[in-house]
Chains A and B, each alone.
Chain A
Amino acid sequence: MLYLKSAKKPSDHRPPQWPQLFDQLAISAKNPGLKQYYQAGVVAPETPLSDVSLVALDIETTGLDPARDAIVSVGLIPFDLHRIYCSKARYWVLNPEKPLTTSSVVIHGITHAEALVGHDLKQILPELLLALAHRVVVVHCRQIERRFLDIALKERIGEGIVFPAIDTMEIDNRYVRRRFFQRIVQFFGRTPESIRLAACRSRYHLPHYTPHHALIDALATAELFQAQVAWHFTPQTWVDKVWH
């Protein structure tokens, strides 16, 4: 049990003052894209959910360890409480093995279509950060997206990233009481996120989607959050009730 306690991060209990933190990071960040991202700012904690621009984000990885495993694909879809906007959805397939540099593309004359498959995160980073700017990220199990992106960025541009995130899995845990032994099983058994996502969705009578596709999982997460707000919150609920 001691281990269980120490595993919890104190930061989870006291979320940072996100607007102030973004202001500081906007000054300290070196990478221009990242600087821009922080400069775009973030909504105040008292903002009602109905006024918050959201973006559902999902990344697929080769494993669960950010130090060893790599990102395979990234999907995101902007939304708000009213609608999910498929026309603004983005999806990238990344090459987890050989990071392609701009020069190697020129040298090897790799075609555009092939390059699409072989992107490195560094190449898509400006677009990714632009898509996330001024939106609150919604994920299912926030540790994965946060840690993978943070470490991947550190590896490529020498500085990490932090961002507020709404976690649909955490919300689900708040409202669905599980039996004690189920929690234990879950702790040791590590049910894959996407299966847990499907289970959460079924509680709100959302349809079954094929899992393990970053964009579809992002869409599924966006729908799940809309449903959770309809059931557990109101459009007037402050965003700081749900973000971390």
Chain B
Amino acid sequence: MEVELLEISDHLRRFEPFEALPVEVVQELAAQVEVAYYKAGSTILSFGDEIHEVYFVRSGSVEVFRRNGTLYNRLEEGSLFGQMSLLMHNRVRFPARALEDSLLYIIPEAQFNQLCDDHDAFADYVELGDRARLRQAVSRANQSNELMRTRIQQLINREPVSIAATASVFEAGQRMTEEGVSSLLICAADDPGQVVGIITDRDLRTRFIAAGLPLKTAVAGIMSENLISIEAQQYVFEAMLAMLRYRIHHLPVMRDRRPVGVISLSDLIRYESQNSLLVVARILRAQDVEELSGLKPEIEASFVRMVNEEANSQMVGSAMSVFGRSVKQRLLELATERLGAPPIPCCFVALGSMARDELLPGGDQDNALILDDSYDPTVHGDYFKQLATFICDGLAATGYPYCKGGIMATTERWRQPRKVWSRYFAQWIAKPTPEDLLNSSIFFDLEGIWGEVGWVEQLKEQIAGQAKKSPYFLFALARNALSRTPPLGFFKDFLLERDGKHKNSLDLKRRGTAPLAALIRVHALAAGSTAQNSFDRLDDIRDANVLPLGRTEALRDALEFMSMVRLRHQAQSLTLGVDADNNINPETLSQFDRRNLKDAFQALSNAQKFLKFRYPARRSAKQG
């Protein structure tokens, strides 16, 4: 006879995966569980033991270990363990020990298997490992936004219209009118399948009519070369990113290096209720710093909207970085209107999260200025100092706070000629000290914004070339990346957190995304990558086979999930009219988010362990 044990079934039903089961099923289960008490420090499971049950933590907390004795996970109330061992031929794979006095509800194998057989959601939950669960969460989130699940080929409704490069502008104009298109692909004269450029209505207006060129001018003379294009099987959000990034309104779509169509901004507009490109246009039209700083609410509103429309973190980070870059560029234009053109060539550089395309609201302005080697402080010093001050003040007024560490073009040390910058990097790489790197690692995320941006590309090449050959530098950078660890076991650790300043909150940037970005940077530099964005870097890391199989995917999901939680938190703060910070109160998170966040922290922790193992000791690093 079964009796009702509501005390047990009610508790089980508060947690995944039991919450989704029918009430009667959980009540039946409760009548079958066994209960056991484990004093703090006592062993629950030993490696290799036979196991025929799954354990549910009713109270207390349990530590699960790897075979080599290192901590794998810390589980609290409502967690399950032992299910992986059941699937692994009924042998304990991860030994377990009570961290606190713990009461466990123990589910016999027969009941557990029955639940898996009868309830798909239950089976999914327990059979997927942490990593696969996170994968599922991220892909489910991505599926929710049309931008992220629609492929570009679905938008193509006609063959591309093209003309040979030798045709005249007049012929091109006629062709566009006949076909009713606003852009025209320009093909090589000898190969109609090879696209060499593009012209748009706007090009006809600005480069042809306004320039007063003759009608028989060859179309090649006014076309845009260095064509930015996109592959047909990529997603709409990637097309959006490309348009944002390069500020273009027409994008040729390719398949097997052949053009199959052209998509324009108007094709994309229906996927985003208020297009981010319109915000960029408004930034670039601002007449003075006051008007520019007045756009701060609009930028924030755009951020909130993207998050609410469930754009992914890459999309949001890119858009925010494009806004930031556009503000900088507009400020530089306004500055040169006032101060005159620069007396010598220069390049304004974005550093840190903006260079990585991962800027979020409230992110510091980290920037620098590279000057031509002909720089003479006595002659040019004042100009560039004024230029830097104008930009940095303008940025601060528009919602990009000053960098507390002084990493800004206003600091003389960061306003130097090319040869000095080249020496800086060579020194950091050749003779790194952890203290140096703590302050300078931000320089290893860099992007040219304005002026001679090619110089920055050269610096990136220099860094990529030198870094991968400098094990001691990589070692120092790795140590640096390990200085901040994720909260393992999350809630328990959290209560034990040493710096109890925010006792009830978790800094998701400090304990999550920042250490992960730092870790990705190390591997990317080791792989000789010149990419700056963390997701792009992960692609390079995967291609270079630096990490064990499957690890880059795990990191990608971890970064995406942590970023998503961070984005949502910030959007919520902005909606409530409070300053967006990164301090999250775990109690306000849904159970789903908490669990996935734990999985993400676990992935980061695993990756940090691998990094430690890959760059083990100072001595061997020197030898290597």
| A83 interface neighbour in B1, B2, B8, B35, Cβ under 8 Å | B35
B59 touches A230 (CB 8 A): no
* A219 interfacial by beta-carbon distance below 8 Å: yes
A230 touches B3 (CB 8 A): no
Query: In the complex the two chains form, what is the Cα distance from A211 to B70 in whole Å?
Result: 40
Query: In the complex the two chains form, what is the Cα distance from A90 to B4 in whole Å?
Result: 9
Give min CB distance, B360 to chain A, whole Å: 40
Give min CB distance, A30 to chain B, whole Å: 29
| A90 interface neighbour in B1, B39, B101, Cβ under 8 Å | B1
A215 touches B37 (CB 8 A): no
| B36 interface neighbour in A84, A90, A207, Cβ under 8 Å | A84
Report the nearest B residue to A216, measured CB to CB. Answer: B7
Give min CB distance, A91 to chain B, whole Å: 5
Query: In the complex the two chains form, what is the Cα distance from A226 to B39 in whole Å?
Result: 9
Query: In the complex the two chains form, what is the Cα distance from A79 to B3 in whole Å?
Result: 16
Interface residues of B (CB under 8 A from A): 1-8, 30-39, 42, 58-60, 100-103, 106
| A227 interface neighbour in B2, B3, B32, B39, Cβ under 8 Å | B39
Query: In the complex the two chains form, what is the Cα distance from A231 to B41 in whole Å?
Result: 12
A209 touches B7 (CB 8 A): yes
Query: In the complex the two chains form, what is the Cα distance from A89 to B31 in whole Å?
Result: 8
Give min CB distance, B152 to chain A, whole Å: 54
26 residue pairs from A and B, CB less than 8 Å apart: A83-B106, A84-B34, A84-B36, A85-B34, A86-B5, A86-B8, A86-B30, A86-B31, A87-B31, A87-B32, A89-B5, A89-B31, A90-B1, A204-B37, A205-B101, A206-B37, A216-B7, A219-B7, A219-B35, A223-B35, A223-B37, A223-B103, A226-B36, A226-B37, A227-B39, A230-B42
Query: In the complex the two chains form, what is the Cα distance from A182 to B4 in whole Å?
Result: 37
Give min CB distance, A59 to chain B, whole Å: 15
By a CB distance below 8 angstroms, the chain B residues around A210 are 7
By a CB distance below 8 angstroms, the chain A residues around B35 are 79, 83-84, 86, 219, 222-223
Interface residues of A (CB under 8 A from B): 79, 82-87, 89-91, 204-207, 209-210, 213, 215-216, 219, 222-223, 226-227, 230-231
Query: In the complex the two chains form, what is the Cα distance from A79 to B58 in whole Å?
Result: 18
B58 touches A86 (CB 8 A): no
Given contacts A86-B8, A90-B3, A216-B7, contact A230 B37 (CB under 8 A): yes
| A204 interface neighbour in B1, B3, B42, B101, Cβ under 8 Å | B101
Give min CB distance, A128 to chain B, whole Å: 13
Query: In the complex the two chains form, what is the Cα distance from A77 to B351 in whole Å?
Result: 66
Report the nearest B residue to A208, measured CB to CB. Answer: B59
Give min CB distance, B62 to chain A, whole Å: 13
Query: In the complex the two chains form, what is the Cα distance from A83 to B58 in whole Å?
Result: 14
B60 touches A205 (CB 8 A): yes
Shortest 9 CB-CB contacts between residues of A and residues of B: A205-B101, A84-B35, A230-B39, A226-B37, A207-B59, A83-B34, A91-B3, A227-B37, A216-B7
Query: In the complex the two chains form, what is the Cα distance from A231 to B37 in whole Å?
Result: 11
At the interface, is chain A mostly helix, strand, loop or mixed? mixed
By a CB distance below 8 angstroms, the chain B residues around A90 are 1, 3
Query: In the complex the two chains form, what is the Cα distance from A87 to B37 in whole Å?
Result: 17
Which of A222, A226, A231 counts the most chain B CB atoms within 10 A?
A226
Query: In the complex the two chains form, what is the Cα distance from A85 to B42 in whole Å?
Result: 21
By a CB distance below 8 angstroms, the chain B residues around A87 are 2, 31-32, 34
Query: In the complex the two chains form, what is the Cα distance from A24 to B265 in whole Å?
Result: 97
Give min CB distance, B34 to chain A, whole Å: 4
B31 touches A207 (CB 8 A): no
By a CB distance below 8 angstroms, the chain B residues around A206 are 37, 59, 101, 103
Give min CB distance, A191 to chain B, whole Å: 22
A216 touches B37 (CB 8 A): no
Report the nearest A residue to B34, measured CB to CB. Answer: A83
By a CB distance below 8 angstroms, the chain B residues around A215 are 3, 5
Give min CB distance, A132 to chain B, whole Å: 16
A216 touches B106 (CB 8 A): no
Query: In the complex the two chains form, what is the Cα distance from A84 to B38 in whole Å?
Result: 13
By a CB distance below 8 angstroms, the chain A residues around B60 are 205
B37 touches A207 (CB 8 A): no
B5 touches A231 (CB 8 A): no
Query: In the complex the two chains form, what is the Cα distance from A126 to B39 in whole Å?
Result: 37
| A207 interface neighbour in B4, B33, B38, B103, Cβ under 8 Å | B103
By a CB distance below 8 angstroms, the chain B residues around A207 are 58-59, 103
By a CB distance below 8 angstroms, the chain B residues around A204 are 37, 101
Query: In the complex the two chains form, what is the Cα distance from A89 to B37 in whole Å?
Result: 18
Query: In the complex the two chains form, what is the Cα distance from A84 to B6 in whole Å?
Result: 16
By a CB distance below 8 angstroms, the chain B residues around A209 are 7
Report the nearest A residue to B2, measured CB to CB. Answer: A87
Extra contacts, 19 of them, besides A83-B106, A227-B37, A230-B42 (Cβ < 8 A), are: A79-B35, A83-B34, A84-B35, A85-B34, A86-B31, A86-B33, A89-B5, A90-B3, A206-B101, A206-B103, A207-B58, A207-B103, A210-B7, A216-B7, A219-B5, A222-B35, A223-B103, A226-B37, A227-B39
Give min CB distance, A234 to chain B, whole Å: 12
By a CB distance below 8 angstroms, the chain A residues around B32 are 86-87
Given contacts A205-B100, A216-B5, A219-B5, contact A83 B31 (CB under 8 A): no
